A and B are shown apart, each in its own frame.
Chain A
């Protein structure tokens, strides 16, 4: 009919041009994710330095394709030049507080890619359960998993996750958090944890890893030898947070050790003693490490390329912490304002979006030490029944804050785009929850 738009000749191919080879490589902190996208009459070209940039560009391209009321697919003439603001844009999943079946992890990786997240921080074990099947220490999961058969990640599962992630340009940084958060390690590694005392007698309860016995360091060496081989990323997350000193304090052997070493009553020194030895072990295995902020706060001697993960959020103290960490010359990752497990009524994605990671007092060199950040989905109240709606589209707010330019802050525009993106997610079969009232052309079809 006369009024129909005259479609240009249908575009038949998107040419993808990558200048640096490396299809079989793993992404790293230094990977270049920039790309250029050019859509014009007769040609569609995606060019990137690396395959990682090509992946990002393909996602963007897929978001540009529209469909009109007749069902015709179309794309507008477009010019895009894109690159991430921060190189480390991560998501933490906790598979210890609740086991997450493999498909849940793989689906999360898919949606991470839609959001241009590039780090999967796998908080794989913790107090409640130890689902990681270790080849060196099979008893760890046999005794420590919720169910040693059904609630574990086999070596094959782990390989699947790593490869699924790699194909999406996502690094897998595993966290074996010590010396605290290790109760589930105890049953499979007798003698590893500190026996707590009630007066002169062991109470039967255990505390953090025992830092004063050599067997601990032998164990840790062998475990991390395995972990270093299994996980190809240069970085390992070593945890180091929330160490409860009461058990150490109750143990007479530890008290004797403290005296012997002249640590007095300062158990932070004992914690540092352990952490330092752990860091040396991990270094000698050729890995870099990320640690939670306590390790920095407690004056542990760190390697210059240590990354400090800032997570404590009391009254925006995290900005001060970011300043302190970077002023001391360390690289920093921000998670404190992005604890997505902390749900609340209303559009809390807005608060996550408004965060400005560099909004602290510091020189440009300092600010350059901020590598990025991570949205965290701790698992105390999360399992496969509610993971996806709780994670998306709220996680998208963090994704944009970490990728896009600092000036991209308009809330109304963000709402419009994020709400539309949420509908796109639904169309891709993702159980993303609504931002606010309304509807999508394709509503969620599952249960």
Chain B
């Protein structure tokens, strides 16, 4: 979370909120034609059909793809997605049943010719592909479970007549494979559905491939979140980092502390009830997406103070409380009593093994002004180093959350300020300045890292900025092989200061797709021309 604005509304807030634009307005000449400096690949409308290859439609590009010229025809009325012989999953596997229905719709749903007849296929001559058999190989397919960081998302897809076979160790791989299969099916000029014989072997390069949504700066209606989960699945993202509350509003309806949203939400209808939350988690699960909630403290908590008295630090000026509040108060026991109960709830509501605890951008000025805090600093021997106080607080929270058997994710400041982390704490690197160096430090100290710094998608700019997200190479940092293994992935962040349901989808997609491929595909998949070709097709498909 990288904004210095956002504390106050009104002119101060909005002026702080305005980032002075660098070179955009001072470019050599603002042409309103196609910028001649960029070598634009021609839009795919001009491609000859003969030049198109099946791989042109795949996003993200699988690790290993072979396609053959031989085409197979699919009849919407006859083609089926089924459980194959030998699969450990069957019709009782709700997750796969749901996926079968979904992918059938994606492939054939938009065609108007879905008649339930058994008319033989028009004389095209191609053999017919009757079904895709899905075979889950592990003893326990995992149908009713939730995806984990260590879930196996590999799959092997063979498309040949008369049946195609999708093999995957776990259901999560089957979901990824179904998406890929749906990307291989295309329509010819006559409206017939075709697929080329192919063989695909695929698995993700990074295990943590996330999108951050911010529902505090602006409330996002459920529909918006769910549509986004669909888009994430199209791009093989597997983590929704739900930055659910922050300074501006507290939409999360807590069972133990209902006042938090009663007083802290923008308004009484702009909340997420327990049912809403369950819906998001289940909708995500069915798409192989983990939901990692973030309850960011001790900073970014203004809205918490509305519904929870004596949680935030009262700021002082000239010996008197000013009436305004700062970060969570780290010196009171009641703070930790509250957090213990609160995170107990969170730990049971959110099934993922990780909770994101935030810990970024803590403004020390209020703490510095508060006499009790100052006294505490003295007692603890922290001197004037408030980072130590922050770490003291964070460590307590980490202990609390650990006691509920949850792993923790934190923003990089927590590491930078030398808090004592748990060995499996995941550090999210977000500061753009010299992030490669930060990755070295974090992994060098033995902690797992997740990269977001170059992928702040809320930072819009004119032109094809997807390219700069695509060309990031996450492992480009000084470090040993062992260190590099500690970088488990990354997250595209869409902070909400200027985003709500009116512009979220077009702002996030297909730009986030660039991040999606960078995190899934092999590191040598870097050709921008090819990426453009595939991404424009993928975008049309997402429409």
Interface residues of A (CB under 8 A from B): 97, 126-128, 146, 180-181, 241-242, 244, 311-315, 336, 339, 341-348, 350-351, 376, 378, 380-381, 385-386, 388-390, 411-412, 415, 426, 431-439, 441, 443-447
Contact = CB atoms under 8 A, between A and B. Distances in A.
Given A311-B32, A345-B19, A412 B506 contact: no
Contacts of A435: 14, 498
Contact of B32 (A241, A389, A415, A446): A241
A97 B543 CA distance: 18
Contact of B248 (A315, A378, A437): A437
A437 B217 contact: yes
A435 B18 CA distance: 11
Nearest to B42: A128
B218 A434 contact: yes
Nearest to A430: B502
Interface string B20-40: 010011111111111110000
Given A314-B28, A350-B14, A433-B498, 11 more contacts: A127-B34, A128-B43, A336-B30, A345-B498, A346-B17, A348-B18, A437-B9, A437-B497, A439-B249, A443-B501, A447-B501
A400 to B, nearest CB: 16
Contacts of B543: 385
B190 interface: no
Contact of B267 (A180, A343, A439): A439
Contacts of A315: 26
Nearest to B220: A443
A347 B14 contact: yes
Nearest to A433: B503
The interface residues of chain B, by DSSP majority, are classed as loop
A343 B461 contact: yes
B248 A443 contact: no
B31 A242 contact: yes
B30 A342 contact: yes
B268 to A, nearest CB: 11
Contacts of B19: 344-346
Contact of B458 (A311, A312, A345, A436): A345
Nearest to B223: A447
Contact of B21 (A244, A344, A390): A344
Contacts of B27: 314
B14 A415 contact: yes
Contact of B460 (A344, A431, A446): A344
B506 A386 contact: yes
A341 B462 contact: yes
A447 B224 contact: yes
B227 interface: yes
B32 A346 contact: no
9 contacts: A344-B21, A345-B498, A385-B506, A436-B13, A436-B14, A437-B496, A439-B267, A443-B219, A444-B221
A166 B27 CA distance: 38
A348 B497 CA distance: 13
B338 interface: no
Contact of B18 (A97, A346, A385): A346
A441 B32 contact: no
B48 interface: no
A439 B219 contact: yes
Interface residues of B, number: 57
A313 B24 CA distance: 11
B218 A412 contact: no
A426 B502 contact: yes
Given A128-B43, A389-B506, A447-B224, A438 B32 contact: no
B502 A432 contact: yes
A313 B219 CA distance: 37
B505 interface: yes
Contacts of A443: 219, 221, 270, 500-501
B459 interface: yes
A434 B248 contact: no
Nearest to A242: B33
B501 A444 contact: yes
Which of A344, A345, A434, A437 has the most C-beta atoms of chain B within 10 angstroms of its own C-beta? A437
A97 B40 CA distance: 13
A146 B540 CA distance: 14
Given A343-B462, A385-B506, A443-B221, A411 B32 contact: no
Nearest to A388: B502
Contacts of B9: 436-438
A339 B32 contact: yes
B11 interface: yes
A97, A244, A343, A445, most chain B CB atoms within 10 A: A343
A311 B30 CA distance: 8
Contacts of B502: 388-389, 426, 431-434, 444, 446
Contacts of B43: 128
A437 B218 contact: yes
A347 B6 CA distance: 13
Interface in B447-469: 458-464
B267 A441 contact: yes
B509 to A, nearest CB: 9
A380 B34 contact: yes
B215 to A, nearest CB: 11
